C-alpha cells in the first residue's frame, strides 16, 4: 500500500478538471442595480463584477473584545444586503421574486423605477438580462448585450428566450428529465434553488433549498422529487432506469391482478358449469371431466331440436283462421237477419195501418202518414206527373177502387191475412236472430279458446327456446371464464419471466449507477476530510431512491455544525464531480452566509481555502463559479481582488447594497 493511502482511501488527491468542460454551464459576469433603465453611471446604484472561480461578498460584523459594550451597534454586517444580493442573482437567473413582500415594497418605494441587470454567460455566449424591480415593465434579454449600453439596445427579446437557452444548456442535458409518479418535466426552475440555497434554511438539510419566509415563489417539490432531481443532476439516475422501474412496477401490478383474478375466474367457470349441469339434469361428477362441455352442448342441441319440432306442430295445428272465419260468418248472418227484420217490421206496421183504415179505426190519411212498404214509391203523385214519370200517367188505383172489385169484408179479411203473414215473418226472423247470436257467441268462444291454446303453446316454445339460449350463454360464459383463467395462469408465468428480466436490467443499470455513486461518495469523502480532517470518513449512501450523507470519526458524528459541513461538502462534491466530467451540475454555486450553529472559525475558513485550492487545479480559467457571502472575516490572503468582489456594511447607508436604508 502506498503511503498516500489510508485504509484504502486516498489521503491527498488533486482535482483533475475534464478537458471537455472548459467553462461553467452558466455564470454571472456582472450584476448591476439601476435607478432607471438608462445608460450612464448616474443611474447605477450598485455595480458588482464577478469572475469564474471564487467570489466573496463580505459584510464585516463588529468584533468583540475589550471595546465591546451594551447598546453598541451589532447589526452592521447583518443588514448590509448580502441575502438581497443573492436573491437578485437568483432573480436574473429566472426566480420569480427577488425578495419577501415587505422588502419588495420597501425597495420599490426607494427605487420606483429600478432595474437589476446582469451579464450572464451561457457556454461561450453572453446574454444581457434585465428585470424590473418596479411594477409595470416586462423583463427582457439581449443576446450579446452589454450592461453599459442596456438602455440603448433596441433588439430586446422576451425573457423566456433566455430561460430556454439556460434550460438547453442545463436541464436538457440531464440523464433523467421527468419526475416519476406525475411524469412532470424537470425544469431549470427546479434546479436553481439547489444552486442558490436560502440563508433562512440555516444549512440544516442538504435537500432544504427554499424557506417560505424568503418569498421566492419557486416551484414546490416533494422530498422524493428533490431526491430524484439530485440523483439526476449527479448522474446517479437515468431515464432508462426510471423507465425500467416504471415498466417493472407495471409488470408487478399486472402479475398481482393476474394472481387475484385467476381463482375468481376459475370459480366462476366451475359455478356456471354446475348450474348448467343442474338445469340439464346431468350428473355433477361430469363437471370435472373434459367431455362435459361437448356433452352439455349436445344436450342443448337435442333440446333445441325438440323445441323446433314442437314449434312446427304448433304452427301446423293453428286453427285460429278457421275459427275466425266461422265467427265472421256468424256475425255477418246476424247482421243480415237484423236488416231483414227491420224491413219486415216496417211492412207489418204498414199492413196494420191498412187494416185500421179498412175497419174505420184510423184517420183517413193514415196511409199517407205510414212509411211506404218495399215496392212502393215514396214520391208524391203530382210531383211524379210533373216530372213525366210513366208510372204516374195512368189512373191511380186506391183502396177505394179496390173496394169496388171486392166487398169491404173480403178486403178487410184479406188484409188481416197479410198482417198475420207479416207477423209470422217477423217472429221467424226474431227467432233466427236469436239463433244467429247464439251461433256467434259459440263461434267467438271457440275462436278465443283456439287463440288461447295457440298462444300458450307458442309461449311455451318461446320460453323453452329462451331457456336453452340462456343455458348456452351460461355455458359460453363458463368457457370464457375458464379460458381467461387459463390465460391468467399463462400470463403469470410470462410475467414472472418478464419481471425477472426487468430486475436483471435494473441491476445492470444500477451497477453503472453504483459505480457513479462510489465515485461521488469518494469526492464527498475528499471534501469532508479537507474540511474536518483526515480522521473523518465521509460517505454517501443510497437507500432505495434516496441519498444519505454520513460523516464518521470512531462512529457516526451528528451535530448542527456537522450537518452544515455535510451539506456544504455535498454541494462542493457535486461541483468537483462536474468539474471532473461526471454528472451535469452547472458548476455554478451560491452560498449565502454558510457559517451556522457552532461551526468553528478554522473549519469555516477552510471553505474559502477549498474553493481557492479548487481554482488552482486549472491551468487556465476555472470551469466553475462559486459565490459566497459572509459576515465572518475570510482568510487574509483572500480579502483582496480578485476574490473579494464586493464589500458591504449595514452602516452607513451608503455602504449597504442599495446605498439606502429600506
For the chain, the domains span 18-63+74-234+586-655
Q: What is the DSSP letter of 129?
A: E
Please report which confidence band the pLDDT of residue 640 belongs to, taking 50, 70 and 90 as the band edges.
very high
Q: Which of 590, 529, 611, 475 is nearest to 198 (CA)?
A: 590
Q: Are 233 and 584 in contact (CB under 8 A)?
A: yes
**127-141, 144-158, 376-390, 472-486: which has the highest mean pLDDT?**
127-141
What is the rounded CA–CA span in Å between residue 402 and residue 626?
A: 153
What is the rounded CA–CA span in Å between residue 389 and residue 370?
A: 23
What is the rounded CA–CA span in Å between residue 171 and residue 255?
A: 36
Whether the per-residue pLDDT at 520 is higher than 50: the answer is yes
**What pLDDT digit, counting tens, does each position of 161-195 carry?**
999 999 999 999 998 888 877 788 999 999 999 99
Whether the per-residue pLDDT at 602 is higher than 50: the answer is yes
Whether the per-residue pLDDT at 400 is higher than 50: the answer is no
Average of per-residue pLDDT across 76-103: 89
One DSSP character per residue, 485-506 reads HHHHHHHHHHHHHHHHHHHHHH
Length of the chain: 662
What is the rounded CA–CA span in Å between residue 359 and residue 362?
A: 8
Whether the per-residue pLDDT at 146 is higher than 90: the answer is no
**What pLDDT digit, counting tens, does each position of 223-272 carry?**
999 999 999 999 988 777 777 777 888 889 988 988 888 888 888 888 88
pLDDT for the residue numbered 329: 92
Q: Which residues contact 151 (CB under 8 A, 6 or more apart)?
A: 37, 38, 39, 43
Average of per-residue pLDDT across 462-479: 89
Whether the per-residue pLDDT at 153 is higher than 90: the answer is no
Q: Are 132 and 139 in contact (CB under 8 A)?
A: yes
Q: Are 136 and 36 in contact (CB under 8 A)?
A: no
Please report which confidence band the pLDDT of residue 403 belongs to, taking 50, 70 and 90 as the band edges.
very low
| Whole-structure pTM value | 0.64
pLDDT for the residue numbered 187: 95
> What is the Cα 310 distance to its own chain's centre?
57
pLDDT for the residue numbered 563: 87
Asked if the 18-63+74-234+586-655 domain carries CATH number 3.40.50, the reply is yes
Q: Which residue's entry shows cell 484504502?
A: 8
**What pLDDT digit, counting tens, does each position of 31-79 carry?**
999 999 988 889 999 999 999 999 999 999 765 545 555 645 555 546 8
Amino acid at each position: 500500500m502506498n503511503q498516500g493511502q489510508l485504509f484504502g482511501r486516498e489521503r491527498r488527491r488533486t482535482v483533475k478538471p475534464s478537458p471537455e468542460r472548459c467553462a461553467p454551464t452558466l455564470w454571472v459576469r456582472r450584476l448591476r442595480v439601476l435607478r432607471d433603465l438608462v445608460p450612464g453611471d448616474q443611474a447605477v446604484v450598485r455595480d458588482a463584477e464577478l469572475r469564474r472561480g471564487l467570489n466573496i461578498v463580505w459584510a464585516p460584523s463588529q468584533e468583540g473584545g475589550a471595546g465591546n459594550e451594551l447598546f453598541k451597534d451589532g447589526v452592521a454586517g447583518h443588514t448590509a444586503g448580502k441575502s438581497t444580493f443573492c436573491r437578485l442573482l437568483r432573480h436574473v437567473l429566472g426566480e420569480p421574486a427577488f425578495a419577501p413582500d415587505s422588502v419588495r415594497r420597501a425597495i420599490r418605494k426607494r427605487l420606483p423605477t429600478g432595474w437589476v441587470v446582469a451579464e450572464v454567460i451561457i457556454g461561450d455566449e453572453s446574454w444581457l438580462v434585465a428585470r424590473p424591480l418596479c411594477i409595470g415593465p416586462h423583463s427582457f434579454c439581449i443576446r450579446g448585450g452589454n450592461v453599459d449600453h442596456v438602455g440603448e439596445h433596441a433588439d430586446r427579446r422576451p425573457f423566456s428566450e433566455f430561460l430556454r437557452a439556460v434550460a438547453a444548456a442545463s436541464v436538457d442535458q440531464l440523464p433523467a428529465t421527468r419526475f416519476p409518479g406525475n411524469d412532470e418535466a424537470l425544469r431549470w426552475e427546479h434546479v436553481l434553488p439547489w444552486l442558490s440555497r436560502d440563508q433562512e434554511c440555516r444549512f440544516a438539510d442538504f435537500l432544504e433549498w427554499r424557506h417560505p419566509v424568503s418569498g421566492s415563489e419557486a416551484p414546490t417539490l416533494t422530498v422524493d422529487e428533490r431526491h430524484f432531481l439530485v440523483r439526476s443532476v449527479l448522474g446517479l439516475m437515468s431515464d432508462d432506469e426510471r423507465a425500467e422501474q416504471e415498466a417493472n412496477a407495471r409488470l408487478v401490478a399486472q402479475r398481482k391482478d393476474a394472481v387475484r383474478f385467476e381463482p375468481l375466474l376459475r370459480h366462476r367457470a366451475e359455478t356456471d358449469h354446475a348450474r348448467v349441469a343442474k338445469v340439464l339434469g346431468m350428473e355433477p361428477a361430469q363437471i370435472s371431466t373434459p367431455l362435459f362441455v361437448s356433452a352439455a352442448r349436445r344436450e342443448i342441441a337435442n333440446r333445441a331440436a325438440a323445441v323446433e319440432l314442437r314449434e312446427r306442430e304448433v304452427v301446423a295445428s293453428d286453427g285460429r283462421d278457421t275459427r275466425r272465419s266461422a265467427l265472421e260468418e256468424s256475425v255477418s248472418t246476424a247482421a243480415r237477419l237484423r236488416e231483414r227484420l227491420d224491413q219486415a217490421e216496417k211492412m207489418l206496421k204498414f199492413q196494420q195501418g191498412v187494416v185500421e183504415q179498412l175497419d174505420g179505426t184510423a184517420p183517413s190519411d193514415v196511409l199517407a202518414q205510414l212509411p211506404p212498404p218495399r215496392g212502393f214509391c215514396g214520391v208524391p203523385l203530382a210531383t211524379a206527373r210533373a216530372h213525366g214519370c210513366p208510372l204516374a200517367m195512368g189512373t191511380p188505383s186506391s183502396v177505394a177502387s179496390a173496394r169496388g172489385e171486392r166487398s169491404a169484408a173480403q178486403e178487410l179479411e184479406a188484409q188481416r191475412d197479410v198482417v198475420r203473414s207479416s207477423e209470422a215473418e217477423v217472429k221467424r226472423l226474431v227467432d233466427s236472430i236469436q239463433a244467429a247470436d247464439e251461433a256467434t257467441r259459440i263461434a267467438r268462444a271457440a275462436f278465443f279458446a283456439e287463440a288461447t291454446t295457440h298462444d300458450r303453446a307458442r309461449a311455451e316454445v318461446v320460453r323453452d327456446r329462451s331457456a336453452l339460449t340462456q343455458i348456452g350463454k351460461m355455458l359460453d360464459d363458463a368457457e370464457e371464464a375458464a379460458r381467461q383463467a387459463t390465460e391468467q395462469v399463462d400470463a403469470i408465468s410470462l410475467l414472472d419471466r418478464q419481471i425477472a428480466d426487468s430486475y436483471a436490467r435494473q441491476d445492470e443499470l444500477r451497477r453503472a449507477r453504483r459505480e457513479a455513486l462510489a465515485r461521488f461518495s469518494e469526492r464527498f469523502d475528499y471534501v469532508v476530510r479537507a474540511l474536518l480532517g483526515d480522521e473523518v470518513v465521509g460517505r454517501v449512501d443510497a437507500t432505495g431512491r434516496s441519498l444519505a450523507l454520513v460523516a464518521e470519526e470512531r462512529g457516526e458524528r451528528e451535530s448542527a455544525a456537522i450537518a452544515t459541513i455535510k451539506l456544504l461538502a455535498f454541494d462542493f462534491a457535486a461541483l468537483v464531480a462536474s468539474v471532473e466530467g461526471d454528472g451535469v451540475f452547472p458548476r455554478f454555486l451560491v452560498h449565502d452566509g454558510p457559517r451556522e450553529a457552532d461551526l468553528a472559525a478554522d473549519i469555516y475558513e477552510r471553505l474559502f481555502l477549498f474553493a481557492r485550492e479548487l481554482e488552482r487545479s486549472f491551468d487556465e480559467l476555472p470551469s466553475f463559479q462559486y459565490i459566497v457571502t459572509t459576515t465572518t472575516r475570510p482568510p487574509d490572503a483572500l480579502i483582496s481582488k480578485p476574490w473579494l468582489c464586493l464589500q458591504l456594511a449595514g452602516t452607513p447607508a451608503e455602504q449597504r447594497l442599495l446605498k439606502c436604508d429600506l
